[in-house]
Homo-oligomer: A and B are copies of this chain.
Amino acid sequence: MIKVGIIGATGYAGAELVRLLSGHPEAEIIWYGSRSYVDQNFTDIYRNMFAIVEGKCLDDNLPKLAREADVIFTATPQGYLASVLTEEILSQTKIVDLSADYRIKDVHIYEKWYGIEHKSPQFIPEAVYGLCEINREQVKKARLVANPGCYTTCSILTAYPLVKEGLIDPQTLIIDAKSGTSGAGRGAKVANLFCEVNENIKAYGVATHRHTPEIEEQLGYAADQEITVSFTPHLVPMNRGILATEYASLKKVTLPDGSVDYPSTEMVRAAYEKYYGDETFIRLMAPGVCPETRWVEGSNFVDIGFVIDERTHRVVMMGALDNLVKGAAGQAVQNMNLLFGLDEAEGLRLAPVFP
Contacts and interface: CB of A to CB of B under 8 A. Distances in A.
A100 interface: no
A119 interface: no
A207 interface: yes
Interface stretch (A61-69, A234-242, A335-343): A234-242
A204 to B, nearest CB: 6
A307 interface: yes
A188 B186 contact: no
Contacts of A247: 174, 176, 230, 232, 247
Greatest chain B CB density within 10 A among A186, A187, A232 is at: A232
A207 B15 CA distance: 32
A293 B201 contact: yes
Contact of A234 (B15, B22, B245, B289): B245
A94 interface: no
Interface in A182-226: 182, 186-190, 192-204, 206-207
A330 interface: no
Contacts of A182: 195, 355
Contact of A201 (B46, B195, B196, B236): B236
Contact of A47 (B194, B292, B316): B292
Interface string A301-329: 10100011111101010100000000000
Nearest to A192: B193
A116 interface: no
A312 B175 CA distance: 13
Contacts of A349: 23
A353 B200 contact: no
Contact of A200 (B234, B293, B310): B293
B186 A190 contact: yes
A243 interface: yes
A316 B352 contact: no
A51 B295 CA distance: 12
B230 A199 contact: no
Contacts of A152: none
B194 A192 contact: yes
Given A203-B290, A295-B50, A237 B234 contact: no
B181 A241 contact: no
30 contacts: A19-B351, A47-B292, A47-B295, A48-B294, A48-B351, A174-B314, A182-B195, A186-B190, A186-B195, A188-B189, A192-B195, A193-B194, A194-B197, A194-B198, A194-B237, A196-B294, A198-B239, A199-B241, A200-B241, A201-B292, A201-B293, A202-B293, A202-B294, A206-B309, A230-B312, A232-B245, A232-B316, A234-B243, A298-B298, A298-B353
Given A23-B349, A202-B243, 20 more contacts: A19-B351, A48-B297, A48-B353, A182-B195, A186-B190, A187-B190, A193-B194, A195-B239, A198-B355, A199-B240, A199-B294, A200-B292, A202-B291, A203-B243, A206-B316, A207-B316, A228-B311, A230-B312, A237-B237, A247-B247
